[in-house]
Structure 1
Amino acid sequence: MTDILRALLDSCERTPTAPALTLRRTTLRYADLRDRVLGVASSLSERGLVPGDRVLFSVRPGLDGIVLALGIIAAGGTVVFADPGAGDTLFRARAQLAAPRWIAAESLLYAVSSGPLRGIARRRGIDLPDYAAIVPDARHLYSGPWLPGVPKSAVALRRLFRGSPGVVVADPHAEALVIFTSGTTDAPKAVVHSRTSLGTGLDDFAQAVGFVAGERVLTDQLMVGIPALIAGAHWELPPPGLDPGARPERYLGLLPRADVLFAVPAALDALLHLLESRPELTPHLRALVIGGAPVLRPLLERGRKQLPGTAIRCIYGMTEILPVAIADGDEKLEYTGAGDFVGTLASSVSASIRDGELVVSGPGLADYLDEPLDELATGDLARLEGERLVLAGRSKEMFIRGTTNVYPGLYEPVIAGLPGVRAAALVGIPNQIGDDELVLAVVLDGATVDAVRTALPGLIDAAVLPDRIVELDELPTAGRSAKLDRDALAEALR
């Protein structure tokens, strides 16, 4: 088992003068990274953070945000990732479940979530929680310049950097990270990782990718950047908000410096489309790592064609345990059997097939908040060919939206409970890159499609808001029980 924080600090000791983190023109050496992380941990402890304290965290990936997250963990605290895009109601439900004692957010979020700016934001469709008041008696940390709305008692992140490096809290098995996944306002769901569960899984990830000390790794994902740092690589962050799926032409300018690129399938699709028309911009990558959603053959074939000298690794995992299996891209393309070959099981993962469903366990498995996990029934139908894992569909109804697993049964009752809505059903219509167009079909009894669309933000997670809403006279059913025929509905809406 690997303690992610201890492994990172050991890496800092091995190569103190090597570059560790770069954003735009600012680079932290490994010694700088170590001193900042331990300095923040010391400052937080001096200000009253004690082991076990949870910190509601809404700071975008950047040098300060990464140092703050690691410093919280080094002080024995727990980082609770909180997406403000979830909407006010769901955000409040998640905050209540996590019961944080601290809030860390960008000053802009405090400003636009309170006072006159909150009304302006809402008129533009941005429904943010009031960060200053959402958790009574919370202590506040903020990044960026002070702005109206930031509590007067809040501590600026730059002041935490002045702390003298302290001692890492010793318990590697205590909770370190909380990540909310699917769920509604009534039943938000949260995954809880310890330093050990994170470190064990990401150690498998690092070995499979084969990070090389000194090479540049381009990603904004902590779960990729941290194992790269542990291996002594140079993590380069894209500017906050730069989405390769939305602005591939700007992202492409970062690639000539990169040796390793991580991309979700939708982002890789956008980059490859641009490279098809601008082949002279093709980067010389050592490795391309694809994860966050299923990696299907058409996308993989395009990636192999356009990046012929690049090693490709396809990651299969989930928030509860990452990775489960890793496939070499060429081996995946050569597989001719039935199903989706997703690779060889990670060394720390134990897997079995129960009634056709994949069940996994191991030291990298997280818990749910207030619910220990000894094993995880993944919902994937699968078979094992020795240590090789092949998926054969879903045992549970689930769609993929970007990097989000969408379980329609969580959301349909909530939507059907809206005034004037008699029935509601979500279906996913897949494309060739493993993503799904999410379509909501509704049977209305007094409401309008526009009224439903207006009511959804804040009622359900922003990551599962439908791409389309379609009104039908009835939803198709099948069998004696008149159960929803989701396949027939998807075909009708395709």
Structure 2
Amino acid sequence: MAAQHLRPAPLTGQRLSGIRIGEWIDMAARRSPNRECFVTADGSRTFAEVRDRVDRLARGMQETGLRQGDRVAILDTDSPEYVEILLALFKLGAVAVPLNYRLSPAEITTLLRTAEASWIFVGDRYAPDVLRARPELPHLAHVVGCGTASEGTVPLEEVLAFGAAGAPVPAAVEDEDVIALAFTSGTTGLPKGVMQSHRMWKTMVSNAVLEYRFLRDEFRYSASPLYHVAGLGLVLNAIHRGSTSLIIPQWDPAELLRWCRKGLTDVFLVPTMISALLRQPDVDPADFATLRSVFYGAAPMSPDLLTRAMAVMDCDFYNGFGAGTEAGMQSVLTPEDHLRALNGHPHLLKSVGRPGYNIDLQIWDADDREVPTGEVGQIVTRSDMVMSGYHGQPEKTAQVVVNGWFKGGDLGHLDEEGYLYLAGRRDDMIIRGGENVYPIEIETVLSAFPGVVECAVVGVPDPHWGQTVRAHVVLAGAAAAETTPEDIRGFCRDRLAKYKVPDEIRIHTGTLPKNASGKVLHRLLREQA
């Protein structure tokens, strides 16, 4: 008898659809209604309270005319309300447009115009600038104030009141629907609007929960702001798992140390933040007694700083590397890799790990061909986390997405075990007298110089060499007053080939310019005379 093929019975009037992101808060509230979802300096909100506020917000926006696909901007520092607005938008299938509050008013106006946002939720600090620009924004119909509500804005509490009558009508969000328009950080050029799909966000969160081993009993903090993919992603990870998130308006090392002493279990920090935390007065290993893990990324970490942090904090360390806005996580250096590095394999501390779950990673040359192991080339990945494209820029999309592979411009090489080592960005590579110079290699050496807390290396035009190497370093403590450029150059001469030793060294007393994720803006440093 021939084998029978099983086929699903046809559905009448129904569509097949998986769990939607907007439902995660509902699921968490059913599982643990009284567990704290958000903790702030002023108090906390349980999952049940957050779920009820999200439903009222979503219903209120529907009552005020918001429909699926409408673009809604958010401009404010971090708060529970910020996350609740995003969760409400995910329920409604609207397109969230989180904006970098560090941008100038003119830049904000440009992004609002580019996004064609019809709504904006705005904090008190930024509302006057938005209201002044409103005549230039014909699409902007609703301005909602997130704080005391400036004159000319609708108070957030009023939108909540509109939704008091009942639950929202959920949208039929499909995986390829765009649910966020995130503008790139612009480390090498002007920001681009990245179209992020429901599929992309679901995969980013699910992969992070798996790779970073999220648990339900955690109390987590991310120093990345909520308008950045890492900041929002880590809070969504916690909601997905039903764990608690600490929300601080803006990064503050003294405030974070206070919360570490009060029971934080897991944190995400960029390397400069780890350095600042360890330089706090009276810092002690006992301050981190409840800490289970430190997840770091977004910028290079010197092996010296990493070794010191591991000794003081005495917990698991994860390094995550990726093109978060456009292609999510790409590689992970696990706690086991860190321990292996301390037990005879120190070179691993210079690595960003191996490809993450369900991620195909290769190294390509300029002709899009895979290069041999050990050779530097462009890092490319293929996964369900690749963006849908750049808003209104199909030509730029075609340049970076090739047959499903994302080419983000980061350079690196793989070793025989599949570990990835970064060599900087393609646009940052310096060609000095025909020799390729990778800034990250020099930055690793500079970061080991006593007193250096930040550094960056850029190439500058030169009539003889084509380009020369210029280093920017930030010094702290006694080193700031006592160190000369020649001291640093001599340190480099003992550790680098002659052509890699910086031709010029500029010593700074303040911080270097950075984007939202903590990456130094090499473009701005190159432009300095």
Flag whether TM exceeds 0.5 (same fold): yes
1:301 deviation in Å?
A: 0.4
CA contact (8 A) 2:72 2:118 kept: yes
CA contact (8 A) 1:110 1:132 kept: no
Aligned residues between the structures: 407
- Give the structure with higher Rg (CA): 2
Q: Which string of whole-angstrom CA distances, capped at 9 and with x for unpartnered residues, describes residues 349-402 of structure 1?
A: 222221222111211111322345432113233344588431241351239xxx
1:205 deviation in Å?
A: 1.0
Q: Secondary structure at the match of 1:178?
A: strand
Using the aligned pairs only, state the percent identity: 20
1:93 deviation in Å?
A: 2.6
Residue 174 of structure 1 pairs with residue 189 of structure 2: no
Q: Secondary structure at the match of 2:69?
A: coil
Find the counterpart in structure 1 of residue 273 from structure 2: 267
Distance 1:206 1:435, change over 3 A: farther
CA contact (8 A) 1:75 1:168 kept: yes
Find the counterpart in structure 2 of residue 226 from structure 1: 236
Find the counterpart in structure 2 of residue 70 from structure 1: 87
Higher mean C-alpha displacement, 225-234 vs 271-280: 271-280
Residue 363 of structure 1 pairs with residue 406 of structure 2: no
Find the counterpart in structure 1 of residue 23 from structure 2: 6
1:100 deviation in Å?
A: 1.1
Find the counterpart in structure 2 of residue 161 from structure 1: 160
Instruction: Give the alignment's Cα RMSD to 1 decimal.
Output: 3.2
1:259 deviation in Å?
A: 0.9
Matches within 5 A, 1:350-429: 350-355=360-365, 356-366=377-387, 367-370=389-392, 371=394, 373=401, 374-384=404-414, 388-394=418-424, 396-398=426-428
Find the counterpart in structure 2 of residue 252 from structure 1: 257
Gaps of 5+ in 1: 115-128, 400-406, 408-426, 442-474
Residue 476 of structure 1 pairs with residue 498 of structure 2: no
Consecutive aligned runs of 4 or more in structure 1 exceeding 6 Å deviation: 438-441
Structure 2 counterpart of 1:177, which letter?
A: A
Q: Which string of whole-angstrom CA distances, capped at 9 and with x for unpartnered residues, describes residues 227-279 of structure 1?
A: 012111111112x13x23xxx23321111221111111111111112277545
Find the counterpart in structure 1 of residue 138 from structure 2: 136
Structure-2 separation of matches of 1:325 and 1:435: 24
1:217 deviation in Å?
A: 0.8
Find the counterpart in structure 2 of residue 317 from structure 1: 322
Gaps of 5+ in 2: 1-17, 224-230, 366-376, 431-438, 471-498, 507-529
Find the counterpart in structure 2 of residue 432 from structure 1: 447
Residue 200 of structure 1 pairs with residue 186 of structure 2: no
Find the counterpart in structure 1 of residue 505 from structure 2: 493
CA contact (8 A) 1:3 1:196 kept: no
Using the size of structure 2 for normalisation, the TM-score is: 0.69
Higher relative contact order (CA 8 A, sep 6+): 1
CA contact (8 A) 2:204 2:233 kept: no
CA contact (8 A) 2:76 2:126 kept: no
Matches within 5 A, 1:319-338: 319-329=325-335, 331-332=337-338, 333-334=341-342, 335-336=345-346
Find the counterpart in structure 1 of residue 51 from structure 2: 34
Find the counterpart in structure 2 of residue 302 from structure 1: 308
CA contact (8 A) 2:24 2:239 kept: no
Structure-2 separation of matches of 1:199 and 1:435: 35
Residue 104 of structure 1 pairs with residue 131 of structure 2: no
Distance 1:285 1:392, change over 3 A: closer
